[in-house]
Structures are given as structure tokens and as C-alpha cells.
Chain A
Amino acid sequence: MTATTAPEPVVVDELITETADRLFGELCTHEAVQAAEDSGGAPDIWEAFYETGFDLIAVPEDAGGSGGTLAEAIEVLRLVGYHSAPIPAAENGILGGWLLAEAGLERPDGLVTVVPPRATDGGWSGGGTCSASLNGDGTAVLSGEAHRVPWARSADVIVCVCECDGHSTVVSVPASECTITPLPNMAGEPRDTVSFDGATGRAAPAPDGVDAGTLAQRGALSRVALMAGAIEKMCQLTVSYTNERVQFGRPVARFQAVQQHLVWAAQDAALVRMAAEVAAREATRGDAPFEIAAAKLLANQAAARATKACHQAHGAMGMTQEYPLHHFSRRLWSWRKEYGSDAHWSAVLGDMATGVGADGLYPLITSGTAALA
């Protein structure tokens, strides 16, 4: 039997974890997160994040990024979720930064956001309900509307992937040329409507492997990371609260019925963090369609269970604005619906599982994407 070589390990620099955790821990207080929700932005938190250079991890240095691996960028996003940092870290970095770098478009100064692709029957369409027509001089004219664009109102640049003459094309438009209508998600995070109205942007063909589908995969991975952090923090809040709250003469965490909520939430926290880290590891090495689809489906399902368990364990206190649980639960309910619903990813995974057949089913579980080849 020939000896098998395992792939090179993917390591995340501990300094990144420590620095991001400390930064967000200091800035993203309950009050600051609430204030960002009320005002629709947190420029001071973004500025501090920008100063670290962490906003462009995994964007190559020759494209104006900070270098580093996708796994490291994902670790930062996990901490964004853990601290409910009210900033478009994913859009600016591993989504927008990635699209611009891959297409060879110059990264303009300022904050970049991305038009999320829209799920279609069995696939993804890039620009939502907008379309682009190429001018033949490296520019394109955009028309129509894009929906649920994160932090568009604060962005300097809006990037989208459009189909032009049968090719995926990356278009980068100054936000000042667009009409932006604010819309919040359930957590009060900006998810704005953008009317392009003939705005002109720079355009470049996307290389192989960059299209609405792969953008959706990266987007889904970003949401899994955010959700992993949020579930973990929500679970910790719940353990603390139930050990402090005394009823019938003892902490409510001593009651078996409450322990059930704690255990189920802890399992979901562990499951989603594991899914995020394994999917990030495989996506750092190459294509990871199975791991990302599986991770997003697990995160979506876990968000539903864990928010229910944590709210129930908190009683009425968790239903107030004063107590921070809602920063995490409302984000989870929103992120669950972004970059692919349960039904979408189940269908994608179902095609993979039935495609490999009975003899391939367990190898798919153990080897993931590698078993699809």
C-alpha cells in the first residue's frame, strides 16, 4: 500500500485572534453596538479596525491587501460575530476585496461593499435585479436595483458580479453615483436598496472560478464564521445568567429542565465553530463546495435551535433591549437568511450525496469535497 500524504496544516496566527478579540472587546460594548444600530453605522469602530490592517486579510498585498490566509480572515469574522461588531468586515475584505483583486481592478480608497448574489433555482445570479452593459473601454453602465446591500449607505464603493455577454464581470461603482435607500435587517444592521440609474463603473472580466456561485460560497462561509462567534457568545451569556439568577432558592442552572437548554446551546456553539473552522481550512486549500454548504446548513439550523434555547433560559430578561442577548439572537436570525437558506443548501448537498451514490456516501462524510472528484 502506498503511503498517503496528508495536506499541509492550515495555521491561524494566534496574534490575530488575540488582537481582534481585544480590539472588539474594548470597542463593541453593549452601548456602542446599540448606538450603531440607532444611527446606522459605527465609523469609529470601523476606523479602529481599519488601522489594524485586519480589514484586508486574505487580500493579496500586490492588490492593496494585507496578505494572510482566508482561514485568518475567517477567524477575524468569527470575532466580529462574537462581539457583534457593527462593521461590514466580510464585504470589505474577503468578498469585495477578493472580487477586485481577482478581476485586477484597482482598489479605490474607502469602504467597499458587495451586492449579494440572489439564489435562483439551483444556482446564483450575480447582481440581484441589476444588470450591466460594457462600454468597451473598461467601464460599464449599471441599471436596475440591488437589494439588501450591507452598509451601502456608509460605503464608498459598491462591487457586483454581473453577466455581460455570457461572461461573469466584476463591476466597481462609486457609491456617490447611486441612489441608496436605507433598510435595516432584523438586527438593525444596514441592508440597503441601491438604485444604479445608469451609474458608470469600472469593469473587468472575472477569471475562472470567480462568479456569482463562488461569491455566494465565500459569502456563506463569512456568515458561518459570524454565526459561530454569535452562538458562542450567546451561549456564554446564558451559562452566566442562569448561574447567577436564583429562583426557588438556587441558581436556575441547577434545574434539569434549564440544563437541557444550556447543553443544547453549547452543542450548537461547538458544532458551528467546528464547521466554520473546518470549512475555512478546506477553503484556504482550494475549492470547498461540500464543506461550505454543510457548514452553512448546520449554522442555519443551529441558529434556530440555539436562539430558542438561550431565550427560553433567560426568561423575560432576554426580551429586553437593556440586556445584550438580542444583539446576538437578532443577528443570528438575520444571518441565517443570508447567502443561502436551509432549503438551498440542502438541495446543493442532496445533489452531491445522491451523485456519489451509496458506496460514496460515507467517504463524502469523511473526506468532503475531495470525495466528489
Chain B
Amino acid sequence: MRFTPTELTGPELDLQAEVREFLARELPPGTHEPCLGMAADHDREFSAKMAARGWVGMALPSRWGGSDRTAVQRFIVVEEMLRWGAPVGHHWVADRQTGNVILKFGTDEQRERFLPPICRGELGFSIGMSEPDSGSDLASVSTRAERADDGWVVNGTKIWTSNAHMNDWFICLLRTAPMEDGNKHAGLSQFLIDLSSPGLEISPIPFLDGSHHFNEVTFHDVFVPDINVVGQPGMGWHQNTTEMAYERGGPDRWLSPFSTVEQLLREAAGTPMEDAVSDLFGELAARWWGIRNLSLSVARLIDEGEAPSVESALVKEMGTRYEQEVVEKLVQLIDEEYSPESESLFERLLAQCVVTFPGNTIRGGTIEILRSVASKGLEGLPA
């Protein structure tokens, strides 16, 4: 394990300035309700504007519609979008991981079919991993795809599927062969499934505050053509593990409460500030500075051809806990009660943080699972 310090180059600083200028023009502070990190609004128009700048699927090759940019350049764009609370929800999953999976494991036909529209910000993807009886023990998935002429027939249920009701496609981990004794990772395959397929039923699972993000997706004899199998049948576990590595350690794991903190500072301007409040801003600035340096170094390692899976698991475990700690510190500081419908934007955001952030240490792999992943990687440390 080694996090090597890095810093932005001249052209990278130019990109940062360009993104800041874009955001100041498109979403001037005070004119939009900031989103809380990656659980952002879906706004196809905004995604198209970002794509026009080459900022969606930017690390994909230009041959497939991308911009040949680096992980660090994507880090810069994502970081600025998230800290601004921009509505990046529509293209989020495709940009962060699905595009990479199709590039790495897909056929040229799949790359041609999916990557250019992903890079135009057109395609929204959902992720089909968890099932009613398979959560952290993901290898136990039982939704099955059975062989048919020119394709597969799928039956079963996926659960906690974010935004399936708004998205276009579903990348799904399915069982294509029975579980083998001693190798629970065998017999799994990855599929690209059209969310408008006949026999595919999407039912809302209301979130704890009544909002609609989660769904249950049920397959009743859904036909998936062979051309939508990703990679080799049976290699799904390996591919899925690779995909999860793209999910971890980025700014989405530590920036979610930033716009709330920034808004508190905005609303506090012009009035005398108690020392405890000022000190908290100082502490939070320091902690974000530290964790950002770790997270940036992970992106740089990826660009250097490394696979920093332990480092990214450490950053994600730390970052998501930090997000919750920020909210707790704000809660302890504020005397008034607040509501999701408070007049103050800060109070509305804080209420939303309190209610939704318990999920931050669960989504994309619980912190308990991350600790297992990371601690195995620590064994090789010299002492």
C-alpha cells in the first residue's frame, strides 16, 4: 500500500478552471437546488451539455466517441460537478463504470452500439447486482439466464435497483450455470438488458422519506439476445469485481455533504460567527484537503497502469464514514429544528443529509465488506 502524493499539472489546472467557469455560467449559486453528491437529479439536458464539452465518458477512446482523457482528468470534472451539486444523475453510472466494462470486456459491436451514445450523455444505466436473498454475499445471486435460440431467457428478481424507472439499460449479474461446490464464483455472467424489454417489470420501493430511487426489477421470461452478453459467459464474477473497483475511492465517496457545508457558510455571511462554527469550517477544510489528496493519488495510480484496489477500498471506507461525520457535526452545531421544507436552503439540505446519508456506507459494498477487502491487502505490509 502506498499513496504517492501528486498534484495537478498545468493542463489539468486549465481543465479545472474550465469546469468551474462552465458551472458558474450554467448553474449560478442561488439559482439551483444543489444535489447531494452522486444521488443527483437526472437531467438529460444537463448531461448533453456536459457531453458536448467532452466530459461524459471522457476517459474512453476517441474511436468509440470518448475523449482519450485520463482518470485524473475525469476526477477533476467529477469533483467539480459534485461539489457544485450538479444534476449528473442521468449519465452517472454509465460514465463511472458501465462504459469501462463495455470497453474492457465487450465486443466491437457492443462498443459501437453503446459507447458513442454513452459519450453523448444519452444512455442512463442501472446496475443489477443485489437480490432479495443476495446482498453482501453477492456470489449467491440466483436470478438465472437459461439458454434459448440466439439468446437467453431470464427469470428472477433484482432489488434496490436505483433509478430503473428512469434509465434505459440495465447491466446485470446473472447465474448461467448452477453454483459449483467449492467455487461459488463460477457460473455467473454479465448481461446488458434493455429496461423496456417485454416481461421486465419495474416496481418502486419507496425510499424512507417517500422519494423514489429504489426499484424491484422482476424478470418474467425476458429474452436477451446473445449479442448482449458482456464478455465470456461464466466470467461474470471477475468482470463484476473489476467493475466494482471503478466504483471506489473517487470524489463521490467523500464530497456528498460539501454543498451543505458551503451553503451554511453562505448563509452565515455578514453575521458574527461563533468560534465553534468557525473552527468547524477549519477542521472540515483540513479533512477534505487530506482525503482529496489520497483520492487524487488513487486516480494518478490508475493512470500509471496500477490497479490500486486496496487503496481505493481504504479511501471509500474512510470517505463515506467521513460524510456521515460531517453531517453529525453540523447537527450538533445547529440549535434550531430543521425540515426538508425549511425556508433556509442549508436547513433543507441538512435535513436531506440526515435522512439519506445512512445509505452512504452501504451502497456499492458495505463498509464491513470493504474492511475485509482492504485488510487482506494489508497483510503484505513490511513490519
Contact = CB atoms under 8 A, between A and B. Distances in A.
Interface stretch (B139-147, B193-201, B202-210, B375-383): B375-383
Contact of A243 (B83, B281, B379): B379
Interface stretch (A42-50, A157-165, A257-265): A257-265
Interface string B354-383: 000000000000001011101100110111
Given A359-B29, A366-B292, A297 B283 contact: yes
Interface string B264-285: 0110110001010011111111
Contact of A263 (B16, B83, B268, B374): B374
A266 B311 CA distance: 10
Bin the interface of chain B by size. 35 or more
A238 to B, nearest CB: 9
A294 B278 contact: no
B282 A6 contact: no
A4 B262 contact: no
B245 interface: no
A45 B290 CA distance: 34
Nearest to A280: B5
A243 B280 CA distance: 38
A271 B295 CA distance: 10
B294 A352 contact: no
B314 A270 contact: yes
Interface stretch (B7-15, B55-63, B225-233, B234-242): B7-15
A1 B14 contact: yes
B7 A347 contact: no
Contact of A358 (B269, B374, B375, B381): B269
A271 B292 contact: no
B285 A361 contact: yes
Contact of A266 (B13, B279, B288, B314): B314
Interface in B59-106: 79, 83
B317 interface: yes
B311 to A, nearest CB: 8
A277 interface: yes
B341 interface: no
Nearest to A281: B5
Contacts of A235: 381
Given A236-B382, A259-B372, A346-B279, A277 B5 contact: yes
Interface of B: 1, 3, 5, 7-14, 16-18, 29, 79, 83, 258, 261-263, 265-266, 268-269, 273, 275, 278-294, 297, 311, 314, 317-318, 368, 370-372, 374-375, 378-379, 381-383
10 contacts: A5-B10, A6-B10, A240-B381, A259-B374, A262-B375, A263-B370, A263-B371, A353-B278, A358-B263, A358-B266
